Amino acid sequence: MVDFTALAVPGVQALRPYQPGKPVEALERELGIREAVKLASNENALGPSPRAVEAASQALRALHIYPDGNGFALKEALAERHGVAPEQITLGNGSNEVLELIARSWLAPGRNAVYSQHAFAVYPLVVQAVSAEGRAAPARAADSEQPYGHDLGAMAAMVDAGTRVVFVANPNNPTGTWLDGEALERFIAQVPAETLVVVDEAYAEYVEQPDYPDTTQWLGRFPNLLVTRSFSKIHGLAGLRLGYSVSSAAVADLVNRVRQPFNVNAVAQAAGLAAIGDTAHVAQSVRMNREGLRQLGAGLQQRGIGFIPSVGNFITFDVGEEPGAVYERLLREGVIVRPVANYGLPTHLRVTIGTAAENERFLRALDAVRQT
């Protein structure tokens, strides 16, 4: 028998695939549960914009036609939104694909990438897949102002001549921690000009702190900056897989060289274009998330359960015991949350902000499993 694992490139041989949140259908099929609720994947409980749904429906009528491989209309709208030129935009099949394209463009054996401990799991995955070295900088302490958040000083100390990419999640998943504009700008300024700084702003639209930065406005000062955004969160289009990056035209040109033809389908492009224009839906999503963060935060606090203060659409909480058992008992109550032991948070679980009714159901389920 041929050992195909041994024939694969070194990075892939040891790679452990990303594990998505458990689908509702799988839970109901496995346990015979009905009307389960999924609060595991940071999806927008409000759903997509009605305008996006209508635009997607219209696009279905032309499924026999290839999509615009350049995404002209969507790029034009995004460029106007961020005050950049269309050639500074790269479209992706979710912002995850853009992260992979970055790794393929800048990383290889002998090169390294820096990211924070407890940062988004895709960073080490894309780095390892191209057989580059991943360097996880120690995060901030559990009792700090931003528990388990990025320690920019520790990250800067790991950057050397072989560092080609630095990943910064702002805010970070799964901790929900964030960086203010002054600290992040100072950090980017000290990173060598030949090192690409990738600021992942997948949850940016949810953040309401006044000193939270929109780093797309810094591109004129930092040619080595690339910012990723997602339509999966605030716009509720996770099922269509749509994301993008904003960078200098030179950086975008390189990323687009490795991007596959027609990587963003016509339905996603149409829905994304419509979603950008529905500012009322975005505002409603922010309001619902704000209220949900308060509801779950207060509920966890009343129950004496510690949690990491979050500015995203999720909260990571400490169950103070082996979380696998709590997770399984919650499944039997029909509530799906997310284990985060693979993020270096062995006693924590993460719950997505849902509707008020879903949040209340989670809290009741938590009460039930803690009594067993």
pLDDT at 27: 76
Write down which residue in 249, 278, 307 finishes a domain: 278
Same domain, 236 and 106: yes
Measured from the Cβ of residue 83, the count of other Cβ atoms closer than 10 Å reads: 13
Average pLDDT over residues 181-186: 98
Same domain, 17 and 108: no
Read off the pLDDT band of 35 (50, 70, 90). confident
- Only one residue has tokens 């305008």, namely 51
pTM of this structure = 0.94
Same domain, 249 and 354: no
Judge whether 111 and 133 are in contact, CB under 8 Å.
yes
Structural domain range at position 265? 50-278
Distance, CA of 226 to CA of 168 (rounded, Å): 10
pLDDT tens digits, one per residue of 273-324: 999 999 999 999 999 999 999 999 999 999 999 999 999 999 999 998 788 8
Distance, CA of 352 to CA of 296 (rounded, Å): 10
Distance, CA of 34 to CA of 332 (rounded, Å): 11
Same domain, 231 and 329: no
Q: Is the pLDDT of residue 20 over 80?
A: no
pLDDT at 162: 98
Read off the pLDDT band of 6 (50, 70, 90). confident
CA distances from 329 to 21, 58, 93, 300, 362 (A): 16, 43, 34, 17, 12
Same domain, 57 and 75: yes
Q: With CA atoms as reference, report the closest residue to 166 among 193, 196, 138, 187.
A: 196
Phi–psi pair at 332, nearest 5 degrees: -70, -15
- Only one residue has tokens 């929109």, namely 214
Average pLDDT over residues 110-130: 97
Write down which residue in 239, 256, 278 finishes a domain: 278
Please give the tally of structural domains in the chain.
Answer: 2
Q: Is the pLDDT of residue 3 over 90?
A: no
Same domain, 231 and 364: no
Write down which residue in 278, 298, 313 finishes a domain: 278
Same domain, 262 and 351: no
Q: Is the pLDDT of residue 166 over 90?
A: yes
Judge whether 266 and 80 are in contact, CB under 8 Å.
no
Q: Is the pLDDT of residue 19 over 80?
A: no
Domain with residue 36: its CATH number is 3.90.1150.10
Q: With CA atoms as reference, report the closest residue to 238 among 59, 43, 100.
A: 43
Same domain, 162 and 296: no
Same domain, 109 and 217: yes
Q: Is the pLDDT of residue 142 over 80?
A: yes
Angle at CA of residue 177, ends 318 and 150, nearest 5°? 105
Q: Is the pLDDT of residue 17 over 90?
A: no
Distance, CA of 9 to CA of 129 (rounded, Å): 8
Same domain, 214 and 316: no
DSSP tally for the chain: helices H, then strands E: 14, 13
pLDDT tens digits, one per residue of 49-104: 999 999 999 999 999 999 999 999 999 999 999 999 999 999 999 999 999 999 99
Enumerate the β-bridge partners of residue 112.
Answer: 133, 163
Q: Is the pLDDT of residue 32 over 90?
A: no
